[in-house]
Structure 1
Amino acid sequence: MDYEHLDPSVSETVAPIGVKILVAGGFGVGKSTLVGAVSETGPLRTEEQLTEIGLGVDDVTGVETKTTTTVVMDFGRITLGKELVLYIFGTPGQQRFLFVWDELAVGALGAVVLADTRRLTGSFPSIDYFERRGMPFIVAVNCFDGVPPHTMPDVRRALNITPQVPVMLCDARERRSGTDVLITLLEHAHGQLRRPAHV
């Protein structure tokens, strides 16, 4: 299947296959940004203003300028070729909203875990969640301006993930970069589904 050329128009004679994808990660890592960048329609967002009530609950270390937070989900859609439509659900990043994840995960093919090298510990709950569920996932390191680059082997070691899990760099603001992340997840999930059960 050719994913390389985006085509928002779907053939009237061929019904596209719909695939559900999750975008997860820590608070302020760029999930809403990624969903908005790749979506061919205006993304649905459930964001609320951060308030003083959240002080001491939401850790804004490293993202002090952040003023809103996702409280349920982000939603977007992207068509790849004429055969495949991805429905992208961004999860809330705070621990107190983890109960929402079980509902969002139903029927999902796989997940992207966005990571910020300034706050890698924020990725652990997402990685643990998908490992426990046996859901295919990849790690995409969001390249924030002014943050020193890290090698992917260093990130892999820091996150303690297996060599089978793809780790890549991305810019969540860029449509092409976000699309590459989604394609990498599709290829990884497809490879996982084709593996024999005993492997």
Structure 2
Amino acid sequence: MDFKNSDTIVGPRAEDTLPDTATTAVKIVIVGGFGVGKTTMVGSVSEIRPLTTEETMTQAGIGVDDNYGSETKTATTVAMDFGRISITDELVLYLFGTPGQERFWFLWNGLFEGALGAVVLVDTRRLEVSFDVMGRLEERGVPFVVAINDFPDAPRYPMDELRTALDLPPDVPMIKCDARRRASSRDVLMTLTRYLHSLTMSPA
């Protein structure tokens, strides 16, 4: 699920300008293992031309990067992806996609800084990768929702079985999605914003 955009960003376009009505901006991180669709999600949902830091994969990654389920992937994020979406006239989300390869996870701490919430993208072919990802978010105290990305050749399981397999608390939202589709990716972000709002309303 690659999102490819070879255009060179030479400066802001008119549609890239932040709306005058925006009063609240929130930083959101999109995390997950290698090849789960983070770049795709940012690219599909961003209302501005997304910034990506994808580089061509080389022989050096063989035996180092686990590309199971993404054998045809030819490029990978080495720093971050960046996009923006207006949820309402007043609320804007800044989206930061993290690199998925474990050797780049040292960059995550900087990307987590100031994040109000996160989306954990999950590939059912590699559920085990999600434990480290969620563990890092829990250590940082970053609330998150889980989005099961619907790969065509991935096994499908009932949501309650996936929740159990991921050892996910009942209050943490989990949603199926297709990261290639703008509406589906937006639904995930809406789920996250509602969850974050519910946490602010909960008694301490």
Q: TM-score, normalised on structure 1?
A: 0.91
What SS does the corresponding residue of 2:172 show, helix, strand or coil?
coil
Query: Which aligned runs of 4 or more in structure 1 are off by greater than 4 angstroms?
Result: 8-11
The 5 A counterparts of 1:144-155 are 144-155=151-162
**Matched position secondary structure for 1:88:** strand
Match of 2:92 among 85, 93, 113: 85
For structure 2, list consecutive stretches of 5 or more residues without a partner in the other structure.
Answer: 1-15
Cα drift, residue 9 of structure 1? 8.5
* Distance in structure 1 (CA, Å) of the matches to 2:106 and 2:17: 36
Q: 1:44 aligns to what SS in structure 2?
A: coil
Q: Which amino acid counterpart does residue 171 of structure 2 have in structure 1?
A: Q
Answer yes or no: is the 8 Å Cα contact 1:113–1:137 preserved in 2. Answer: yes
Distance (whole Å) between structure 1 residues aligned to residue 75 and residue 19 of structure 2: 38
Verify the 8 A CA contact 2:125 2:155 in the aligned structure 1. Answer: no
Q: Secondary structure at the match of 2:54?
A: strand
CA distance in 2, matches of 1:67, 1:31: 15
Larger strand share, 1 or 2: 1
Who is 1:102 aligned against? 109
1:67-107 CA-to-partner distances (Å, cap 9, x unmatched) read 11101100000112211111000001111111111111111
Residues 57 and 74 in structure 2, CA contact (< 8 A), matched pair in contact too? yes
2-structure distance, mates of 1:196, 1:83: 26
CA–CA separation in structure 1 for the residues paired with 2:124 and 2:151: 9
Unaligned runs of 5+ in 1: 1-7
Find the partner of 2:176 among 138, 144, 169.
169
Determine the structure 2 residue equivalent to 1:35.
42
Note the 1:4-153 alignment, pairs <5 A.
Answer: 12=20, 14-153=21-160
Question: Match for 2:167 among 160, 176, 183?
Answer: 160
Supply the AA of the counterpart residue of 2:41. L
After superposition, what is the alpha-carbon deviation per residue over 1:118-153, rounded to whole angstroms, capped at 9, x for unaligned?
111121121101111221100000001133321111
Change (3 A) 1:15 1:173: closer
Question: What's the CA shift string for 1:14-62, capped at 9, x where partnerless?
Answer: 3431111000001000000000000011110001111111111101111
Could you tell me how far apart the structure 2 residues matched to 1:10 and 1:94 are?
32
- Distance (Å, rounded) in 2 between the aligned partners of 1:121 and 1:51: 25
Which amino acid counterpart does residue 75 of structure 1 have in structure 2?
A: F
Matches of 2:172 and 2:60, distance apart in 1: 38
Please give the alpha-carbon distance, in whole angstroms, between the structure 1 residues aligned to 2:197 and 2:46: 22
CA 1:48/1:9 → structure 2, altered by over 3 Å: closer, same or farther? closer
For normalisation by structure 2, the TM-score amounts to 0.88
Greater mean deviation of Cα atoms: 129-138 or 82-91 = 129-138
SS at match of 1:81: coil
Say how many residue pairs are matched. 190
